[in-house]
């Protein structure tokens, strides 16, 4: 089972904000889940370093574009580590191997007769790095970059015959209904294609910061014609001496927010077909996290630094909140105060307290000994079987919220189980020893299952739960099954998983 997941390469001139963290966390969750299921995986992220805006800023600062991107790519390199994401490779489009690959790729398209020369005249948005049609403008401005005046450009460019791919793209969408998910996004892409495709420029004249075209070095590749190719180029040099295309192409799942749907769902598959490649397996478009009613996208500059949330709540809490605050795949509003609430009520009480109470009762009533499985509690066994199947199926649909909701309902069941069975009362009655053993076993075993089922979301917390229960760090998905708790001695009351936090100093300001 091969699984290759990508985030977009982020535009290096931005600062990392919660929108980028959101996509990267989602990609990390699906890839960690695949690893638990024994899949061969590859996870790619990185930065897009070319483009006019980068060169302009470097010019103003009096440094070369390369020096400039070397300096500012640092914050991006740190992002995955801070949110506990583990990409296999971090690509930069200024990598010489990427440039060489892009030149070969574009040469294939050129050799196939899909490139021609023409004059382009029109309004260009440097923010989008795209020409804009009048019909796309709002008050004469790019709706995503209202503060960036459009430039009138007239230049000789090389064009890609996108129009020649209309029928093949429509056939792709017809034959593979799950090529783009969720399906309302596939419909969006399909109606754009049905509306008629215009050829697009794949080069820029008079720009120096980019990859020179192999057949005309006076022009550089248009940033998107350069950036999209990263999903392939990285596979050729991420592991020296190996060509991972053989293993992972086209097993690729591209994850992104809706603002770059058209580039990925229309331009990219057409370019791949032209260059003789298969199209990716799947493209998943998620919505925006609407934080307190503000659109979190790279364009509007209302960046909220996810790293600030991590300093207070930890990476696991941020990951948990991203997965639960808004149904993944939909737009939805989430409030930053929601993270505090979920930290306390759900992570702290539902999960953390359950572990503390369970381990404390094992320590007090059984001298820290968890026995062999005394018997089977059918209702719990059935619920865990369902969780294993449903959570897995949900993740395969990129329903990251559905999958964690399913796991969380086990946590809630276990809390009700404590309340209903009252182990502290069973402990007072010698005749109920066997019953107490079963209840404590079920709680510890249920927590073990929850740790495995939540491990992709809470990679720091899951091993702590297993440690507290004296269990090995075996996160294989097959362990999402009832009754696999190992007998151990020496269980002690576990410290809080998510300790109570003092109110933030600037609580009023927030
Ligand atoms: Zn724009």
Highest mean pLDDT among 66-75, 304-313, 410-419: 410-419
Q: Quick one: three-class SS letters along 275-328?
A: HCCCCCCEEEEECCEEECCEECCCCCCCCCCHHHHHHHHCHHHHHHHHHHHCCC
Higher pLDDT, 291 or 413: 413
CA of 141 to the centre of ligand 1 (A): 8
How far is ligand 1, taken at its centre, from the CA of residue 379, in Å? 55
* Orientation of helix 354-366 relative to helix 400-421, angle to 10°: 40
Looking at residue 297, its pLDDT comes to 47
Residue 304 has pLDDT above 70, yes or no: no
pLDDT of residue 240: 94
pLDDT of residue 305: 66
Distance CA 450, CA 444 (A): 10
pTM over 0.75, yes/no: yes
pLDDT confidence band for 505 (50 / 70 / 90):
low
Give residue 338's pLDDT.
Answer: 82
Name the residues around ion ligand 1, CB cutoff 5 A. 125, 127-128, 142, 144-145
What pLDDT shows up at residue 406?
97
Could you count the other beta carbons within 10 Å of the beta carbon of residue 505? 7
Cα torsion at 396, 402, 407, 408 (round to 10°)?
Answer: 160
Helix axes 65-82, 18-36, angle to 10 degrees: 60
- The pLDDT confidence band at residue 510, using thresholds 50, 70 and 90, is very low
| Ligand 1 center to 289 CA (angstroms) | 20
pLDDT in tens, 426-458: 999 999 999 999 999 999 999 999 999 999 999
Q: Euclidean distance between the first and final Cα of the chain, in Å?
A: 46
Q: What proportion of the chain, given as a percentage, has pLDDT over 70?
A: 95
CA distance 434 to 374: 8
Per-residue pLDDT, averaged over 314-319, amounts to 96
Which pLDDT does position 333 carry in this prediction?
76
Q: How many Å lie between the centroid of ligand 1 and the Cα of residue 77?
A: 25
CA geometry: angle at 405 spanning 34 and 26, to 5°?
Answer: 45
| Cα 13 to middle of ligand 1, angstroms | 14
> Tell me: the pLDDT tens digits for 186-209?
999 999 999 999 999 999 998 999
- Taking only the tens place, the pLDDT of each residue in 23-43 is 999 999 999 999 999 989 999
Burial status of residue 443 (CB atoms within 10 A of its CB: 0-12, 13-18, 19 or more): buried
- The verdict on whether omega for the bond into residue 182 sits within 30 degrees of 0, i.e. cis, is yes
Mean pLDDT of the 206-229 span: 95
Residue 298: predicted pLDDT: 43
Arithmetic mean of pLDDT, 115-123: 91
Catalytic annotation, residues: 17, 20, 125, 128, 142, 145, 295, 298
| Angle formed by the axes of helices 461-468 and 354-366, nearest 10° | 10
Residue 503 confidence (pLDDT): 74
The residues with which 256 forms a beta bridge, in sequence order, are 285
pLDDT at 295 over 60: no
Q: Is the model's pLDDT at 504 over the cut of 70?
A: no
Q: How confident is the model at residue 410 (pLDDT cuts 50, 70, 90)?
A: very high
Separation of 134 CA from ligand 1 center, angstroms?
13
For the cut 70, the answer to whether the pLDDT of residue 104 exceeds it is: yes
8 A C-beta contact, residue 456 and residue 441? no
CA-to-CA dists, residue 312 to 19, 320, 324, 496, 504, angstroms = 18, 14, 19, 16, 9
CA 437 to the chain's CA centroid: 41
What is the arithmetic mean of pLDDT over 465-484? 98
Q: Which whole number is the average pLDDT over 358-377?
A: 96
What's the average model confidence in pLDDT over 470-496?
97
- Mean per-residue pLDDT of the chain: 93
Confidence band of 307 (pLDDT split at 50, 70, 90): low
Higher pLDDT, residue 465 or 306? 465
Mean pLDDT over 117-132 rounds to 87
Residues 6 or more apart in contact with residue 345 via CB below 8 angstroms: none
């Amino acid at each position: 089972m091969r699984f290759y997941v990508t985030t977009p390469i982020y535009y290096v001139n931005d600062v990392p904000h919660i929108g980028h963290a959101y996509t990267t966390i989602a990609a990390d969750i699906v890839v960690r889940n695949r690893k638990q299921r024994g899949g061969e995986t590859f996870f790619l992220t990185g930065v897009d370093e070319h483009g006019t805006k980068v060169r302009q800023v470097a010019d103003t600062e009096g440094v070369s574009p390369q020096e400039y991107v070397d300096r500012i790519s640092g914050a991006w390199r740190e992002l995955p580590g801070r949110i506990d994401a583990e990409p296999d490779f971090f690509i930069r489009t200024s990598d010489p191997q990427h440039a060489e690959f892009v030149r070969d790729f574009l040469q294939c398209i050129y050799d196939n007769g899909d490139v021609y020369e023409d004059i382009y005249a029109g309004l260009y948005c440097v923010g989008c790095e795209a020409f804009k049609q009048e019909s796309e403008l709002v008050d004469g401005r790019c709706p995503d970059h209202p503060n960036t005046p459009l430039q009138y450009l007239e230049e000789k460019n090389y064009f890609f015959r996108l129009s020649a791919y209309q029928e093949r793209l429509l056939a792709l969408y017809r034959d593979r209904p799950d090529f783009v998910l969720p399906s309302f996004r596939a419909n969006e892409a399909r109606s754009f294609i049905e509306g008629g495709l215009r050829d697009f420029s794949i080069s820029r004249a008079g720009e120096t910061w980019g990859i020179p075209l192999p057949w005309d070095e006076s022009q550089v590749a248009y940033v998107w014609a350069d950036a999209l190719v990263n999903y392939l180029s990285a596979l050729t040099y991420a592991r020296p001496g190996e060509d991972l295309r053989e293993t992972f192409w086209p097993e690729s799942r591209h994850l992104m927010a809706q603002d770059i749907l058209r580039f990925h769902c229309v331009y990219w598959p057409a370019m791949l077909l032209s260059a003789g490649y298969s199209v990716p397996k799947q493209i998943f478009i998620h919505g925006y996290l609407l934080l307190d009613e503000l659109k979190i996208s790279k364009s509007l500059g209302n960046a909220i630094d996810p790293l600030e949330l991590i300093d207070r709540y930890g990476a696991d809490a941020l990951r948990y909140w991203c997965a639960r605050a808004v149904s993944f795949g939909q737009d939805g509003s989430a409030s930053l105060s929601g993270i505090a609430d979920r930290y306390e009520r759900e992570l702290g009480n539902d999960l953390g307290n359950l572990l503390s109470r369970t381990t404390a009762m094992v320590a007090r009533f059984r001298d820290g000994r968890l026995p062999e499985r005394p018997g089977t509690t059918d209702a719990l066994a059935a619920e865990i079987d369902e969780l294993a199947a449903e959570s897995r199926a949900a993740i395969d649909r990129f329903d990251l919220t559905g999958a964690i909701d399913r796991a969380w309902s086990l946590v809630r069941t276990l809390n009700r189980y404590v309340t209903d069975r009252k182990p502290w009362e069973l402990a007072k009655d010698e005749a109920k020893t066997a019953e107490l053993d079963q209840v404590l076993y079920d709680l510890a075993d249920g927590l073990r299952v929850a740790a495995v089922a939540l491990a992709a979301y809470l990679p720091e917390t899951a091993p702590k739960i297993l440690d507290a229960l004296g269990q090995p760090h075996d996160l294989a998905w097959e362990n999402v099954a009832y009754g696999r708790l190992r007998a151990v001695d020496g269980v002690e009351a576990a410290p809080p998983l998510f300790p109570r936090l003092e109110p933030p100093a600037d609580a009023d300001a927030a």
